[in-house]
A and B are shown apart, each in its own frame.
Chain A
Amino acid sequence: MNQNPEIIGTSPKRVDVREKVTGAARYGSDLKMEGMLYAKVKHAEYPHAKILSVKTGRAKKLKGVAAVATAADVPGNPAFGAIIIDNQPIAGDKVRYLGDAVAVVAAETEAIAEKAVSLIKVKYKELPGLFDPRDALKPDAPLIHEDGNLIVHHKTRRGDIEAGFAAADRVIERSYSVQRVDHAYIEPEVVVAYFEPDGTLVVKGSHQSIFNIRSAVSGVMGLPLSKVRIVQASLGGSFGGKDDVMSVLSCRAGILAQQTGRPVMLSNSREDSLIESYKRHPYFMDYKVGVKNDGTITAMEIKMVADGGAYASMTQFVTWRSVVHATGPYRVPHVKTDVYGVYTNNTYTGAFRGFGSPQITFAYESLMDEIAEELGMEPLEFRRINILHDNDITATGQILDHTVSVGQALDVTTSASGWEEKRARFPKENSGRIMKRGIGLACSYRGVALGAEGVDATGATVRIHSDGSVDVATGLVEMGQGLKTIFSQIVAAELGIPIDKIQYRPTDTSLIVDGGPTVASRSTIMGGSAVKKAAIGVRERLFQAVSEKLDVAPEDLIAADEKIMLKNDPSRSVAFLEAIALALETGLNLSCFGWHLSPPIWWDEEAGKGDAYFTYVYACQIAEVEVDPETGKVNVVEVWAAHDVGKAINPDTVRGQIYGGVATAIGYGLLEDVEMVDGVTKTMNMDEYLIPTAMDVGKINAIILENYDKYGPYGAKSIAEPTAELCAPAIANAVYHATGKRIRDLPLNLERIVLGHKLIKKKRRVR
């Protein structure tokens, strides 16, 4: 039973923010140590080349240089990876993109390390490069890795695709593409590595999923998992971006710490980060849709090619999420979807908030508007005919046995935005004015947590101390999303104590068992459930002690207002502190571990079907834009974003997630593009890689929908990622409404709006 429900659904002050507003919070770059060395990386000079020799003699002789390491100095496995072990922290035989390292240097200062890097001479045999994943799939394409250029091929199959098209009155085909984008967390990647006297390697830094990083470091360093400690510093943004790249930095710094016996800091400049860190996958997407004249979709055949870049990273999982969701939140009886993830010599791609959904949402939501127009229907009307309802079956054959709220999301956003009236009024007004107004929408559904792509389980420890203070530890990490506060609220609710009694313990792999990665918007639903179990477990021990004292049954007790009291007679109570003393006197253990395993789900890779996720969230976003047809500038005037979160445990943080996700998607829709030409990154810093400023983000109306979910703590599901998957297509549809220009490639930058194609910089900027 929920003991102290009033704190669930409120927004107490975040527990991690006081130190952030004073500047006292310690981020990775603030972790200076006695005797610390600074590392720099010698990067590859060709996007695809055999390494013939690496000459480090002159670098080693430079005064102030402590160590220069090459692939020969890697003590353990040469590479790491989630499924395919292909990512080499220091490249040995060949380089596969310009972010590869051929050597790393540790020196007394960064300037000396940089100078030493310039003295390292590498001989290469250049190999033909592959920069378009469609070229990489050709039979005669050169091989980037020995086992071929195809990383993965996923499929979804439902019904009979030919029968589906035969039943259609029309078949509509469209192609879309999306660009490579960077997480653009404001804090670039940084680690400090050192050895404890007992031989344990400690790597502190800007880590996201600490257990994934531990696993990579353990393998590459040849150390047991128990002798690797990954400790998270305050994290200056991540969005899925500080996993593989942090493994790479951790291994490089770890090797140098081993060679020198001193602490080593490796911090990426913004240029290093843009060249080296993984990005969101560019996709090429071809859709063929059968529809009846009454607006019913009969079939969808979809083919997508994702650019995985030089290493597999999360490509198998990212593209799996795409293959599951490719048809959008619609009833489609006949489905044939194929998604290919492919190696190229571009910067590798991996997890980024959305994880295979922002790409496909842009395609299928642009497409819904295009089909509606072909049928002479309004976009809203066409969607209403086809959207999923309770107990409908998805493209993968899964029956949706929870509240399917995409219709509700459409209702509230269209009503709040004045949709019908603006759809009718703007075109009339636009003919007489220079700046053109438009309004567009997009909706989506999204599987919660990891899904059938892997085992999904996580743990938490709650400890009550003798003075009434309480701490909580989990293996999931705060990265700004508010996890420490949400988990503290859950403990406060279950123990009936104020939130300021609760301390969140450091995120450190040596403190708790592996609880999986902090990804997939899984922390509240999975981690929150584990925290709740741990808090209930420890509370039961207090109840046991109190039940003896009051001579009542433990199940008749509740914890609230810092007391343990009789449910039916609150006057009979024991203070929280006294209950602790009673429990300790009888030798009870006031530390409890909670473990939460997701409900059973399955996926048949061969058949392309399954119950992919144990529950889903639904959303709709509407964007109102103003377009200057002379300059191509698009202003996002206002956004309405409705997201079903199950239950908002902390509404302020839910709104914060919505605002941030919308802003990121505005960047994806209008501004951002990591331009690469023949493997060379053209956007080298934030003067060229543009993310939205406060002046680029208009008013955002965050609308929280709550439909209780049986699998979530207090009915809560998730938020983080769906917020970032909708605004780009909503903007594209709004731009079409404003101008009549349908743009099928992101971003909708000035040149695409005015010229209809993008402009490319030819000259390489000196780093």
Chain B
Amino acid sequence: MKKLKLNITVNGQKHTLKIDPNLRLLDLLRENLHLTGTKEGCGIGECGACTVILDGRAVNSCLILAGQCEGREITTIEGVTPEDGLSPLQQSFLDNGAVQCGFCTPGMILSARALLDHNPTPTEAEIREAISGNLCRCTGYTQIVEAIQAVADGREEQQGSL
């Protein structure tokens, strides 16, 4: 298979890579760049565990070919984690008991961040809709919604960017 040349920015860092044309963005992140915080749960864009932010929008990285990301910017869970400490959303998930097994958590946090970047004061219904593409089997979503709401309401201390 002929390799493709790809220029991509991941978590603020520019990469130039030679990739297979059939490589999924999810595999590029996990296998080539070792960013394993992005998870795979279904491979067909239903569970949302592989959610990343692509040019400001939350997307399922299992449904996007790496080759489609030429010149584009990706943010993964590793990219929202400050050098020391946690982002307000991460802290709020911790404070509100929003994490049980944690497998959906990175994707859930990125969907929440994409929502808050576009709509800093969402209603509960808007929060539920924004994370409706992220399945969670442990929490019944209640504490996740509360955690996102707490950041939106400014109850969770702002430590730098969302």
Contacts and interface: CB of A to CB of B under 8 A. Distances in A.
Q: Do A and B bind each other?
A: yes
B44 A694 contact: no
B103 A236 contact: yes
A173 to B, nearest CB: 36
A234 interface: yes
A572 interface: no
A185 B94 CA distance: 21
Nearest to A11: B97
Contact of B101 (A29, A185, A662, A687): A185
Contact of A691 (B40, B97, B137): B137
Contacts of B142: 655, 659, 697, 700
Given A13-B95, A480-B102, A22 B136 contact: no
A235 B101 contact: yes
Nearest to B133: A693
A694 B81 CA distance: 25
Q: Is the interface of B mostly helix, strand, loop or mixed?
A: loop
Given A17-B94, A20-B105, A23-B38, A186 B136 contact: yes
Given A14-B97, A693-B132, A187 B103 contact: yes
A445 interface: no
Given A236-B101, A686-B47, A186 B93 contact: no
A659 B103 contact: no
| Most A-side CB within 10 Å, residue of B40, B93, B129 | B40
Given A20-B105, A23-B77, A652 B97 contact: yes
Nearest to B37: A23
A357 interface: no
Contacts of B39: 27, 29, 186-187, 236
B137 A237 contact: yes
Contacts of A186: 39, 41, 47, 49, 101, 103-104, 135-137
B140 interface: yes
A187 B41 contact: yes
B43 interface: yes
A236 B102 CA distance: 6
Interface residues on A, range: 35 or more
Given A18-B94, A22-B86, A656-B97, A237 B138 contact: yes
A695 B129 contact: yes
A695 B37 contact: no
B121 interface: no
Contacts of A234: 101-102
A392 B98 CA distance: 40
A235 B102 CA distance: 8
Contacts of B99: 14, 17, 20-21, 480
A412 B43 CA distance: 44
B141 A694 contact: yes
Contacts of B9: none
A292 interface: no
| Most B-side CB within 10 Å, residue of A481, A661, A664, A685 | A685
Contacts, number: 168
Given A20-B105, A186-B136, A694 B145 contact: yes
A14 B43 contact: no
Interface string A23-39: 11111011000000000
A25 B90 CA distance: 14
A310 interface: no
A481 B138 CA distance: 8
B81 A22 contact: yes
Q: Is the interface of A mostly helix, strand, loop or mixed?
A: loop
Contacts of A11: 97
Contacts of A13: 94-95
B10 interface: no
A663 interface: yes
B109 to A, nearest CB: 7
A24 B97 contact: no
A28 to B, nearest CB: 10
A239 interface: yes
A685 B46 contact: yes
Given A22-B90, A186-B136, A700-B142, A270 B42 contact: yes
B142 to A, nearest CB: 4
A655 B76 CA distance: 30
B139 interface: yes
Nearest to A654: B97
A659 B139 CA distance: 6
A660 interface: yes
A114 to B, nearest CB: 13
Contacts of A686: 41-42, 44, 46-47, 135
A254 interface: no
Contacts of B93: 17, 21
Contact of A237 (B77, B103, B106, B141): B103
A753 B8 CA distance: 50
A660 B104 CA distance: 14
Contacts of B7: none
Contact of A22 (B37, B101, B132, B133): B37
Interface residues of B, number: 51
A21 B137 contact: no
Interface string A666-706: 00000000000000000001110001011101001000000
Interface in A210-249: 234-239
Nearest to B40: A29
Interface in A61-98: none
B137 A694 contact: no
Given A185-B101, A270-B42, A270-B43, A694 B132 contact: yes
B89 to A, nearest CB: 8
Interface in B115-136: 127-129, 131-136
Interface in B33-83: 35-44, 46-47, 49, 76-78, 81
A734 interface: no
Contacts of B38: 23
| Most B-side CB within 10 Å, residue of A14, A23, A29, A238 | A23
Contacts of A235: 101
B50 to A, nearest CB: 11
A14 B100 CA distance: 9
A664 B141 CA distance: 11
B24 to A, nearest CB: 12
Contact of A269 (B43, B105, B136, B141): B43
Given A13-B95, A21-B93, A685-B42, A480 B86 contact: no
| Most A-side CB within 10 Å, residue of B86, B94, B128, B140 | B140
A697 B141 contact: yes
Contact of A21 (B40, B76, B94, B131): B94
Given A481-B100, A686-B46, A664 B137 contact: yes
Contacts of A21: 86, 90-91, 93-94, 99, 102, 105-106, 109
A156 interface: no
A14 B90 CA distance: 13
Contacts of B35: 23
B83 to A, nearest CB: 12
A482 interface: yes
A660 B41 contact: no
A95 B128 CA distance: 44
A242 to B, nearest CB: 11
Nearest to A241: B137
Given A22-B90, A660-B140, A695 B97 contact: no
Contact of B100 (A184, A660, A691): A660
Nearest to A183: B137
A188 interface: yes
Nearest to A236: B103
Given A660-B140, A687-B44, 6 more contacts: A21-B86, A21-B109, A23-B37, A235-B101, A694-B141, A697-B140
- Top 4 nearest A-B pairs (CB, nearest first) are A23-B37, A20-B102, A236-B103, A480-B101
Interface of B: 35-44, 46-47, 49, 76-78, 81, 86, 90-91, 93-95, 97, 99-106, 109, 127-129, 131-145
5 contacts: A187-B103, A188-B41, A480-B102, A687-B44, A697-B141
